[in-house]
């Protein structure tokens, strides 16, 4: 019986079957199978098949892990959204959120660059929407003082109408407000992932005649640092 099993295992191996495939048909230990088959050579095509099968198994494992991670992320995300929904949102909270947002991403006045007005740049459309809400609701900036610049890679010139339409929907302003476009030099080799139709460049939101207001924002930031004892070292 053992010889019959060995002969069957060798035949299956010569036909290009993997060890795991053979063990499903020949019920012996892995060590015995290894001993029987160590002298059995495989053709180049058979080796290629086994390699492809191995990578297919790895890909299946990766997909399973990725889907599991996605499910866990969705659960955490849902719980976090529910936590935020319990918070009563007020203009005071929006004010502080906006100051923090501008501190992180807004243009500040420097000693070598005096007269800097309010200017905020980002490619994240949700961040842009929050910033516009902030300057309109908390700073009382009227629409006619809000202007926009688009920065986009030059290889997307053919998509300008689409990009303008995107930012128009995001901001709620008419397409006419997005006439000023700056082109960035395109790099063929890039690590950026947003290079296809989901790429809409970067939007800069500016407020005209806002140097004094930008200085007040700097004061609010300083006041927050003092209140929470954040000291410059």
Cβ–Cβ < 8 Å for 132, 143 = no
For position 199, what pLDDT does the model report?
Answer: 93
Sign of CA dihedral 157, 159, 161, 164: negative
The C-alpha atoms of residue 17 and residue 97 are separated, in whole angstroms, by 62
pTM of the model: 0.74
In this predicted structure, the answer to whether residue 233 has a pLDDT above a threshold of 70 is: no
The C-alpha atoms of residue 160 and residue 58 are separated, in whole angstroms, by 41
The C-alpha atoms of residue 47 and residue 194 are separated, in whole angstroms, by 38
Query: Which whole number is the average pLDDT over 85-100?
Result: 94
In this predicted structure, the answer to whether residue 188 has a pLDDT above a threshold of 60 is: no
Span 50-79, pLDDT tens digits: 888 888 889 999 999 999 999 999 999 999
Give the residue, 184 or 3, on which the prediction is more confident: 184
Span 22-39, pLDDT tens digits: 888 888 888 888 888 887
Q: Is 94 left (phi over 0), alpha (psi -120 to 50) or beta?
A: alpha
Query: Which whole number is the average pLDDT over 176-186?
Result: 91
Query: Which whole number is the average pLDDT over 181-197?
Result: 70
Percent of the chain whose pLDDT exceeds 70: 94
For position 47, what pLDDT does the model report?
Answer: 80
3-class DSSP state of 153: strand
For position 216, what pLDDT does the model report?
Answer: 97
For position 192, what pLDDT does the model report?
Answer: 53
Cβ–Cβ < 8 Å for 145, 182 = no
The residues that bridge with 153 in the sheet, in sequence order, are 184
pLDDT interval class at 20 (50, 70, 90): confident
In this predicted structure, the answer to whether residue 115 has a pLDDT above a threshold of 80 is: yes
Q: How far apart are the first and last CA of the chain?
A: 81
Question: Domain residue spans in the chain?
Answer: 2-41, 91-227
Cβ–Cβ < 8 Å for 91, 200 = no
SS3 assignment for 63-132: HHHHHHHHHHHHHHHHHHHHHHHCCCCCHHHHHHHHHHHHHHHECCCECCECCCCCEEEECCHHHHHHHH
For position 186, what pLDDT does the model report?
Answer: 72
Non-local CB neighbours of 22 within 8 Å, separated by 6+ positions = 9, 12, 13, 33, 37
pLDDT interval class at 4 (50, 70, 90): confident
Percent of the chain whose pLDDT exceeds 90: 64
In this predicted structure, the answer to whether residue 40 has a pLDDT above a threshold of 90 is: no
User: How many alpha carbons lie under 13 Å from residue 49 in its C-beta half-sphere?
Assistant: 12
The C-alpha atoms of residue 47 and residue 229 are separated, in whole angstroms, by 66
């Amino acid at each position: 019986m053992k010889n019959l099993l060995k002969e069957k295992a060798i035949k299956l191996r010569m036909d290009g079957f993997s060890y795991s495939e053979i063990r499903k048909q020949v019920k012996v230990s892995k060590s015995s199978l290894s001993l029987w088959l160590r002298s059995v050579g495989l053709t180049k095509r058979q080796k290629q098949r086994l390699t492809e099968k191995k990578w297919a198994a790895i890909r299946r494992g990766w997909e399973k892990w990725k889907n599991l991670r996605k499910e866990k992320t969705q659960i955490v995300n849902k719980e976090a959204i529910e936590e935020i929904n319990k918070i009563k949102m007020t203009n005071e909270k929006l004010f502080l959120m906006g100051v923090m947002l501008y501190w992180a991403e807004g243009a500040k006045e420097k000693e070598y660059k005096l007269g800097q007005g309010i200017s905020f740049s980002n490619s994240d459309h949700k961040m842009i929407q929050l910033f516009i809400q902030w300057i309109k609701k908390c700073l009382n900036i009227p629409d006619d003082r809000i202007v926009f610049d688009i920065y986009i890679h030059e290889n997307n010139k053919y998509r300008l109408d689409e990009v303008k339409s995107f930012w128009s929907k995001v901001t709620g302003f008419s397409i006419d407000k997005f006439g000023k476009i700056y082109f960035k030099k395109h790099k063929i080799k890039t690590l950026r992932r947003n290079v296809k139709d989901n790429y809409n460049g970067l939007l800069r939101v500016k407020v005209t005649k806002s140097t004094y207001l930008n200085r007040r924002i700097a004061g609010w930031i300083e006041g927050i640092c003092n209140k929470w004892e954040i000291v410059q070292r």
